[in-house]
Amino acid sequence: MLYRELKVPDAYEITPRQFGDDRGVFLEWFKQESFTDASGRPLELAQANCSVSAAGVLRGIHYADVPPGQAKYVTCVSGSVLDVVVDLRVGSPTFGQWDSVLLDTKDRRAIFLSEGLGHGFLALENNSTVVYLCSTGYNPDREHEVHPLDPEIGIDWPTIGADGRPLEYELSAKDRAAPGLIQAMDAGVLPRIA
């Protein structure tokens, strides 16, 4: 596995080594030992999630209160998504910055993001299936969101899907109503770096 730290500290792109033959492909998409060596920490596992989305579905930017926060290890097992991590940690030198990784069934990359970072993705084709390992379980009272189209963050979301057709973004009501980055900071709901 190859690990590359993203421009948002404490987030990594993971590219697995694939072994293919006439029967198909085998790969390890998570391995605790190499993960710990690369990131300097183990991944505690409390929950595993699966999300299936149509082309144009935009989910996020989601984060959880810190502590305990929620670290995520994410991959796409069918279709393709642009997966995005945003530094939402007030006091971080990269506060408000974002980076992205294309998750698809060609390179079969994964992305890891630590507690306090925001996460979102845009499905680039129908039936894009994202699975992720979480360090803590879902707790609706501790979960929050920042608007994924906030110009203050300025994420460069694709406008064309994997099939070459224009994408029409579809957001949940909760994500449409999410505050922008500055609004969330002013409300005191973002994680802080000590």
Catalytic residues: 62, 132
Question: What number of other Cβ atoms are within 10 A of residue 110's Cβ?
Answer: 26
DSSP string, 50-74: EEEE-TTBEEEEEEE-TTT---EEE
Q: 61: closest CA among 43, 40, 82?
A: 82
- Annotate 112-140 with b (16+ C-beta within 10 A) or e (fewer): bbbbbbbbbbbbbbbebbbbbbbbbeeee
Q: For residue 43, what are its two tokens?
A: 């991944």
- Ramachandran category for residue 10: left, alpha or beta (phi over 0 → left; psi -120 to 50 → alpha): left
CA–CA dist 76, 49 (Å, integer): 12
